[in-house]
Structures are given as structure tokens and as C-alpha cells.
Chain A
Amino acid sequence: MDLFVIPLLKILIVLNATLVGVTYMVLLERKVIAWAQSRLGPMRVGPYGILQPIADAVKLMLKEDITPARADRWVFTAAPIIAMVPALIVYAVIPFGDKATLFGREITLYITDINVGLLYIVSVASVGVYGIILAGYASNSKYPLLASLRASAQLISYEVAVTLTLVSVILVAGSLSMVQIVRAQESAGWWFVFVQPLAFAIFFIGGLAETNRAPFDMPEAEQELTGGFHTEYSGMRFALFFLAEYANMIVVSSVATTLFLGGWLRPFPGVSALSFLDIIPGWTWFLVKSFVFLYIFIWVRATLPRYRYDQLMRIGWKVLIPLAIVNLVVTGIIKVMLL
């Protein structure tokens, strides 16, 4: 029972919650951008358009699924799946909360806590690149090919910077396990964003680039590459790419919440004067923090123009990676000298 049923139930709940969250993320994005642009956004389907994601899903499922005539049929079909799966299995190690008692049974609010949790996230995320590269290759079309070359170069470059910031967090926390990192913040008494502000900034910028979000969204720059790597996709396969992108956004914000914003901890866990906030369950804090992060993602998109490809690479290699290395070295020196 405890070995199989509860983990299976957890997986089921997390997967479904993620997919629903992703579809509503799309609605949230449309709404927030609409408000930023003094519009209303979707209003027709349901009150204030809250049923819009369902209508979108139905529409995408019923659409004709086109495979271009000279596409590589197998790879073309596999690419969206390859993009979607890593985005979903990352949730296995994300701690949404500490423990909860449900029907007299104590349940941990994460699917599993493995020793190499952070490394697992990084490695699984690195497999997600394949979806984009293969989509561009298999479409047998020039715009997707250009976009997939851009995307893979971008993802691989920014992965370096992001991973280096993660290493400095690991140095501070002394563990690769996501749960242990949160516990380290609990015992330290403050969130790691105050310990590692530079790492947080680099992680945020790198996260924007890793998820192909504005201002680094040139792999899918509609104005330049007519939609990027998924130009030739339609119907449900396009929807999978779309969902994967938003699922990745949620992953990035969850990881940022866990590593830098104290996961399920309340603000300032070290200050006992704020302990009245403990009534609020941990998972609520987690969701609120992730939501704030996601909101910033959307806000940035509504505000900023797009970088150019070479400028993006310059920022990645000449600014973020050196900064991340300096941050790592300084963290190491402080850790060895002072602590």
C-alpha cells in the first residue's frame, strides 16, 4: 500500500495538477498581457473567459494533424513527445510542501526525495533540448531549422550559467537533495536569495532563456522566423510543444522557489515574531511564491523587446557565465574561510 498506491496517487495528482496548471497558465498569460495592454483578453468562453483553456484544448485536439510531405515522419512525431516528457518528469523531485496528515496517515508532499535531486533536474532538463532540435530537423523546412539551431545553441549556453548558479546554492546548502536544501534554509533562518542574490539574478535570467521566454524568445520569434521550430506543427502536436514550454516555466519557477525562496517555508523562517504565519500550510507558500515568479515571467514578456541572437549569446557567455563563476569562487572562499 505505502510502497505503490500512495506514490502512484501522488504522481497522478501532480501530473493532473500540472496539466491543469499549465492550461490555466496560458489563460493567465493572456489575461495579464491583455491588462498590461489595456485590453480585456478572452471574455467569451465562460465568465471572464475562465473556460477558455478548455475551449482551446478541444479546438487543438480536433484540428487536423498535418505532417509535411517530406518530413521525417517518425522523428516528426517523436519530437513533441520528447519535448513534453522531460518537462513533466522533473516534478518527481520538487517538494511542494513538507508533510501533511491526511486520513490519519502522514504523507510527504513530494513524490520522492532522491540524493541527487538537483542533478536529476538538470540532467532531465538537458534532454528536453532534443525535442526542439528534432522538431526543427524533422520538419524539413528552413525556418524551423534555423530556429532549432538557435534554440539548441541558446539552451546549451544558458544551461552552463544556470548550472553554475545551482552549484553555488549546493555549496551553501551542502546537499543535492531538494528537501535538504529547503531544510538548510530553515535552519539557516533565511531564504538563500539573501545569501546568493547574484546567483538568484543569474538563475532568473538564465531561466527566461532556458524556457525560451521573452526577451530571449528568438527560437520562436514569430516576427523573424514565423513561429520558430514549431512552424510546421499543428493540432495536438503543436499543443504538446506549447504545454511543454509552459510546464518548463512552472518547473523553473518551482526550482527557483525551492532553491532561493525557501520552498514551503514562510517568509523569514528565522524571525519568531512572524510565527503567526505558520497557520498557513506550507504548500500555500510554495504555490504563492511560484505564482509570483510566473507573474514576473509574463510581466517581462509584456514589457521588453526581444534581444538579437548574437546579443543573447554575448550576454550568456561574456556576462552571465563569468559572473556565475565569480559568484561560485567567492562562495567557495567564504565557505572555506569563514564557516
Chain B
Amino acid sequence: MITPTHYMLLSAALFIIGVIGVMVRRNIIIIFMSIELILNAVNINLVAFSAQLHNAVGQVFAIFVIAVAAAEAAVGLGIILAFYRNKETVNIDEMNLMRW
């Protein structure tokens, strides 16, 4: 029997993998992808509870999360490109100036 706890543990593991990616990697594109993993972890939780509670609200929230992820990806990647054009790098350790 698969309970919501199983889904929560899966989600927690996915979340942590994402967090480790954010904390450890220095390539900003990979960091962005780790953030997507984190958002997916959240979505798994939402959908699991939605199934458990027989209520579609969790799925609605998951849709909002996806919308926010799309917005975040668009703006974030725009920033990466703008940054890359000026400094020829995507290494987050070299992004140490507030303006250039």
C-alpha cells in the first residue's frame, strides 16, 4: 500500500537533491535546473495530497507552480544571457558584481 508518506519521502529526497545542486554546483544553468527539481518535488507533494484528499485543489496549485516556474525560467535565462554577453561566463562564483 502506497501512502502519502511514500510520496512525501520521494518528494523530500528530490527536494534535497535539488538543494544540493543549488548549493554545490557553480554553473548557473545547472543551478536553475536544480530549482526546477525543487519545484517538481513540491508539485509531487501537492498532487499526492490532492489524490489522498480527493480534492483537485492540489492540482490547481501545481498548475500555478508550473506557471511560476515558466516565468522564472524565462526571466532567469534572460538574465543568464545578458550576463554571459557581458562577462563570457556562467560561473556563479564570478558573478560578484552588482552592476557593471
Direct contact of A and B (CB under 8 A): no
Chain A residues within CB distance 8 Å of chain B: none
Question: Hey, which bits of chain B sit against chain A, CB under 8 A?
Answer: none
